[in-house]
Amino acid sequence: MAQTDKIKKIDLKVEKNEKITINPRYSLYSAKYFTIDVTNLRRYTKNAPNLGKEYKAATVALDHDMGVFVEARIREYNDGRLTVEFWGDRAVLTPQIVRFIADCVTAFGPTLTGDTEVTQEDYDLVKQFRFNRMWNQACVTMSNNDDNVPVMVLALFNPPQDTDNKKIIIDK
């Protein structure tokens, strides 16, 4: 999967009435989707041991974020990149995941294969364990866990961090 460069600036536009408009990509990282602070992933890896790998890793238990995800696996690479994978306990397209995919299309455009919406065919692909949506910044896909049970996985690549010397402002 392609990794993106760090988002170095915040796209804020101040209107005449001083209302702040936030780039749609930042709403993807809000509390409406995640119980962990996706804009401060380094807080989870801060005390994680570096086991001689090119990254430090941490795992955080979740209580069914988006109706599916029970675990977040966070990696902070030596070059400063961050990734987080949300692992579900089953393979299902919940309404929250469908909304997240629609928000990704709004923020990032069509997927790498040109998809722009979730269709009935996608629900069939989930049943066949072949569903996949991928952008350079994120992906939602089917995977097999260690017990070879199909699960839903959501991965975010280099989400903006409030520790990047700028406070990330996110609509709640």
Over its length of 172 residues, how does the chain's per-residue pLDDT go in tens digits?
A: 333 333 334 454 444 555 555 566 677 888 889 999 998 899 999 988 877 789 999 999 999 999 999 999 999 999 989 999 999 999 999 999 999 999 999 989 999 999 999 999 999 999 888 899 999 999 999 887 667 778 899 999 998 886 554 555 544 4
The domain of 100 spans: 12-157
Please check whether residue 41 lies inside any domain of the structure: yes
Please check whether residue 89 lies inside any domain of the structure: yes
Q: How many structural domains does the chain have?
A: 1
Q: How far apart are the first and last CA of the chain?
A: 29
Q: In angstroms, rounded to a whole number, what is the distance separating the alpha carbons of residues 75 and 45?
A: 7
Please check whether residue 148 lies inside any domain of the structure: yes
Please check whether residue 3 lies inside any domain of the structure: no
> Which pLDDT value is given to residue 109?
92
Please check whether residue 1 lies inside any domain of the structure: no
> Which pLDDT value is given to residue 53?
83
Q: In angstroms, rounded to a whole number, what is the distance separating the alpha carbons of residues 172 and 51?
A: 36
> Which pLDDT value is given to residue 166?
52
Give the DSSP H/E element, type plus range, for residue 26.
helix 24-27
Q: Which two tokens stand for residue 69?
A: 């995800």
> Which pLDDT value is given to residue 60?
96
> Which pLDDT value is given to residue 171?
45
Please check whether residue 172 lies inside any domain of the structure: no
> Which pLDDT value is given to residue 23?
62
The C-alpha angle with vertex 7 and arms to 73 and 31, in degrees rounded to 5, equals 50
Residue 40 CA from chain centroid, whole number: 13
> Which pLDDT value is given to residue 84?
96
Query: The pTM is what?
Result: 0.80
Please check whether residue 27 lies inside any domain of the structure: yes
